[in-house]
Chains A and B, each alone.
Chain A
Amino acid sequence: MDRPLAEFIEMLRYADIPVSIGESLDAAETVQLIGYDDRGLLKAALSQVMAKTVEEHDSFNRCFDEFFSYNIEFDFKNEDKEAVEGEDNLDSQSANPEPANENDDGSSVNDDTSGGNEQEAGEPLGDPSAPLLEMLEQNDRTALALAMTQAAGEANLGGIVLMTQRGLFTRRIMEQMGLDQVNQEIMAREEQGDDEGAVDLAGRLETLFDAVRDMVERQLALTSSGKGKQFRQDVLKKVRLSNIEHRDFKHMREIVRRMAKRLTDMNSRIRKVKNRGHLDIRKTMRRNIAYDGILFETHWKQKHKDRPKVLAVCDVSGSVASVARFLLLFLYSLNEVLPKVRSFAFSGTLGEVTDLFDRLGPEEAVPLAIEQFGGRSTDYGRAMEDFKDLIFDEIDNRTTVIFLGDGRSNGADPRVDILKEIKSRAKRVIWLNPERKSIWGSGDSEMLRIAPYCTTADTCNSLNKLELIIRDLLKSN
């Protein structure tokens, strides 16, 4: 596989497109088939080989445009005319030392140069190991470009993650390319009174600085969008739900969605409608008595497994306000991926929000649910009664009921008798509480009374925990 493609694939992986080895091989074959000449065609072809979902197609298109459009440009202002005149000359020269790379058309994509730079280190022309001063003076753009990519490699530019590292990396690359020497030369010229020469050289140096800065920026854009995001997501998963800032809501949504999707994927693997693998001899024989014992009609062993029905009830009162948003968000995502989830929200009174979730996006639906049902002081007794009135008849032995709440009822009777009834009818009752177990039962918390009537009652205060619990739920299904 040639180097530009390898680099491109690495970039895709940073951009959350998991390109497998098999797919990279396919991509290499595709490139061989189509070549680099027709960019539009290449883009269409590669996107089908490597991007496998709609979201991935979007990222792929972005990456492709970014990766293949870039040229290292040195805009030597003072030398404009000369540069134009020398253009053809330079271009043909730059094409010359290229080893038998894929792009023998010499289309000056940056990757051609970066692809070739190692083999070319010793070439007389475009020699990146020549002193920087010489390259600047001679306006040798090819060599500068090569030296830049080489220096970038040595400065480990690929490792750049944060915005604040830009200056550092620019500096490192410039030093690697021999910045000190050029600075000394400028000073020397000034001392000798050659002001014009000093200004000229300083100008060229500044142009080079700009080019290096551009390169660093670009690399940052490539890697940070991937790495930075992953870093942030890893942190978000572990943080206590109540501590997550509002601005992270969007990222949370993405994580939660993915989590819920993974969970349902696992779940649908477990559930299966029928399994007709084996002949049921007994039933077959019994059925065929009518045909005088000649086995004529077959009968199969069948296994039925039903989809789970989930009723989720979420407390959105003031005491759990900071967590409610995320609990609702999780409910929302669950709603999106599981076919039979009905969601309810309450603080004082309880109401169904399934419809709200169906109709609106999460950015609207979640605040609306909080607005509609939140704000009042919690009354678990009332909520239980409402819940019983609303939905009790639909609870059967396939239903899982999930409560999300802190169990603080402001002194009101939490009506555990209703909970007991629910438990006796439902397949299981799960209570998820954002509070630690050690403070259950303190103050107005009714958790100690509630817990015995739940199949599971557990602390759930981070996304990781939430995922674990839900996974157990689906496994035991």
Chain B
Amino acid sequence: MSIIDKDPAEAIDLIKAGFESAGYICDRHIATSIYLSQKLDKPILVEGPPGVGKTELAKAASELLGAPMIRLQCYEGLDESKALYEWKYGKQLLYTQILKEKLGDLLEDAVGLDQSMDKLHQFGDSFYSEKFLEARPLLQALKSEVKTVLLIDEIDKSDHEFEAYLLEILSDYQISVPEIGTIKAKTKPLVFLTSNNTREMSDALKRRCLHLYIPFPDAELERRIIKTRVPELDENLRNQIVSFVQQLRTQDLKKLPAVSETIDWARTLLLLHAEKLDADMVRNTLNMLLKFEEDIENTNSDVPKLVAIAHKETR
């Protein structure tokens, strides 16, 4: 990791530039957290409203570091057998059936139950060995020979128990499997946890992570993001779009439009060959930005005003 070993300010600028070439526009704040997490060996807990690019950050980091990404999507009821590891019970059972006769041969000369047991014990716990261990995302990330980026997405959707499983991985990069022992990471993965804050994470988890909050971008940053993501778009229209969305975010809405919505909207307008924003077109495409019927209804009457301001600002 050559970038990381440089002088902090320089390294952070390099990370930022690297992200930009990977198509992820960010501010120094985000680059700093990548740098810190590498230096302090700490996972990053990314919070922010939906659609500001939390998951994208992990993808961009994976691209930047040239490390494969392993993703674990969290949901309610997710448990260790889905996230950490599981025994291949089916395979174990099948093997016992298939090996039945073989066992008969082995135990042929044994007299009595005790001797048969002793004989069996000589073969060790072959059924509970790594061969029968199904590695799930978390274990995969630890066992990987190369550095990986581990994305634990929407951790707030998971249960409290699952958070507890995570603690060992997050602080020591290891997993304890009762039947085998502790598996330590060969190379420490870069871990991202994302959360929409539907529930407060426990202090124990937060303590182990760096905390990165990604807010909605300001106009300048959003313009650059749109420019990278939808490069075909005319500059004038781009500025109008960003100005309109920025205004929309100051309104009282159920769900504010995020960057991903702005990008979708920009693509839509591009598809419709729009040259500049006009009220009718905005009304017709408003459902790309606002995802609640109520919000759309409330905004409809304000559209001409907002469009006018957007025109004025970008002139």
A29 CA to B79 CA in the complex, in Å? Answer: 34
List chain A residues, Cβ under 8 A from B197: 54
Q: Let me know if B89 and A26 touch, CB within 8 A.
A: no
0 or 1 for each of A38-62: is its CB under 8 Å from B? (1 = yes):
1011001100110111100100000
Q: Which residue of B lies closest to A279 (CB)?
A: B89
Q: Let me know if A41 and B94 touch, CB within 8 A.
A: no
For the complex formed, measure the closest distance between the CB of B188 and the CB atoms of chain A, giving whole angstroms.
16
Which stretch (A289-297, A373-381, A398-406) binds chain B?
A: A289-297
**Set B79, B97, B203, B211: member contacting A48, Cβ < 8 A:** B211
Q: Let me know if B94 and A26 touch, CB within 8 A.
A: no
For the complex formed, measure the closest distance between the CB of B105 and the CB atoms of chain A, giving whole angstroms.
20
A294 CA to B91 CA in the complex, in Å? Answer: 11
Q: Let me know if A273 and B77 touch, CB within 8 A.
A: yes
Cβ of A165 < 8 Å from any Cβ of B? no
Cβ of B186 < 8 Å from any Cβ of A? no
**Set A33, A273, A277: member contacting B39, Cβ < 8 A:** A33
Report if A51-B211 is in contact (Cβ < 8 Å); known contacts: A41-B32, A261-B200, A268-B160: yes
CB-CB contacts below 8 Å: B50-82 with A: 76-77, 79, 81
List chain B residues, Cβ under 8 A from A396: none
List chain A residues, Cβ under 8 A from B42: 26
List chain A residues, Cβ under 8 A from B81: 276
Cβ of B180 < 8 Å from any Cβ of A? no
Q: Let me know if A45 and B213 touch, CB within 8 A.
A: no
Q: Let me know if A44 and B28 touch, CB within 8 A.
A: yes
Q: Let me know if A41 and B28 touch, CB within 8 A.
A: yes
CB-CB contacts below 8 Å: A3-58 with B: 18, 20, 22-23, 26, 29-30, 33-35, 38, 40-41, 44-45, 48-49, 51-54, 57
List chain B residues, Cβ under 8 A from A26: 40, 42
Q: Let me know if B160 and A48 touch, CB within 8 A.
A: no
Cβ of A286 < 8 Å from any Cβ of B? no
For the complex formed, measure the closest distance between the CB of A22 and the CB atoms of chain B, giving whole angstroms.
6
Q: Let me know if B8 and A34 touch, CB within 8 A.
A: yes
Q: Let me know if A294 and B8 touch, CB within 8 A.
A: no
**Set B32, B47, B161, B199: member contacting A45, Cβ < 8 A:** B32
A52 CA to B98 CA in the complex, in Å? Answer: 54
List chain A residues, Cβ under 8 A from B90: 296-298
Q: Let me know if A20 and B207 touch, CB within 8 A.
A: yes
For the complex formed, measure the closest distance between the CB of A293 and the CB atoms of chain B, giving whole angstroms.
9
For the complex formed, measure the closest distance between the CB of A364 and the CB atoms of chain B, giving whole angstroms.
11
A51 CA to B29 CA in the complex, in Å? Answer: 14
**Set A20, A22, A33, A295: member contacting B8, Cβ < 8 A:** A33
For the complex formed, measure the closest distance between the CB of B145 and the CB atoms of chain A, giving whole angstroms.
28
Cβ of B93 < 8 Å from any Cβ of A? yes
CB-CB contacts below 8 Å: B1-25 with A: 8-9, 12
Q: Let me know if B93 and A296 touch, CB within 8 A.
A: yes
**Set A18, A45, A261, A269: member contacting B160, Cβ < 8 A:** A269
Cβ of A274 < 8 Å from any Cβ of B? yes
Q: Let me know if A272 and B161 touch, CB within 8 A.
A: yes
Cβ of A413 < 8 Å from any Cβ of B? no
Cβ of B159 < 8 Å from any Cβ of A? yes
Cβ of B255 < 8 Å from any Cβ of A? no
List chain A residues, Cβ under 8 A from B76: 273
Cβ of B230 < 8 Å from any Cβ of A? no
A20 CA to B204 CA in the complex, in Å? Answer: 10
A51 CA to B213 CA in the complex, in Å? Answer: 10
Cβ of B291 < 8 Å from any Cβ of A? no
Cβ of A265 < 8 Å from any Cβ of B? yes
Q: Let me know if B94 and A294 touch, CB within 8 A.
A: yes
Q: Let me know if A22 and B207 touch, CB within 8 A.
A: yes
Cβ of B166 < 8 Å from any Cβ of A? no
Report if A41-B47 is in contact (Cβ < 8 Å); known contacts: A26-B42, A294-B93, A294-B97: no
**Set B12, B206, B212: member contacting A41, Cβ < 8 A:** B12
Q: Which residue of B lies closest to A293 (CB)?
A: B97
List chain A residues, Cβ under 8 A from B246: none
A41 CA to B94 CA in the complex, in Å? Answer: 58
Q: Which residue of A lies closest to B48 (CB)?
A: A54
For the complex formed, measure the closest distance between the CB of B62 and the CB atoms of chain A, giving whole angstroms.
20
List chain B residues, Cβ under 8 A from A273: 76-77, 159
A38 CA to B44 CA in the complex, in Å? Answer: 22
A54 CA to B201 CA in the complex, in Å? Answer: 12
List chain A residues, Cβ under 8 A from B209: 52
A130 CA to B44 CA in the complex, in Å? Answer: 51
Cβ of B288 < 8 Å from any Cβ of A? no
Seen from chain A, the residues whose Cβ lies within 8 Å of a Cβ on chain B are: 18, 20, 22-23, 26, 29-30, 33-35, 38, 40-41, 44-45, 48-49, 51-54, 57, 261, 265, 268-269, 272-277, 279, 294-298
10 other A-B residue contacts (CB within 8 Å) besides A33-B39, A40-B28: A20-B207, A29-B40, A35-B8, A41-B8, A52-B45, A265-B199, A268-B159, A268-B199, A273-B76, A295-B93
Seen from chain B, the residues whose Cβ lies within 8 Å of a Cβ on chain A are: 8-9, 12, 28-29, 32-33, 36, 39-40, 42, 44-45, 47, 76-77, 79, 81, 89-90, 93-94, 97, 159-161, 197, 199-200, 203, 206-207, 209-213
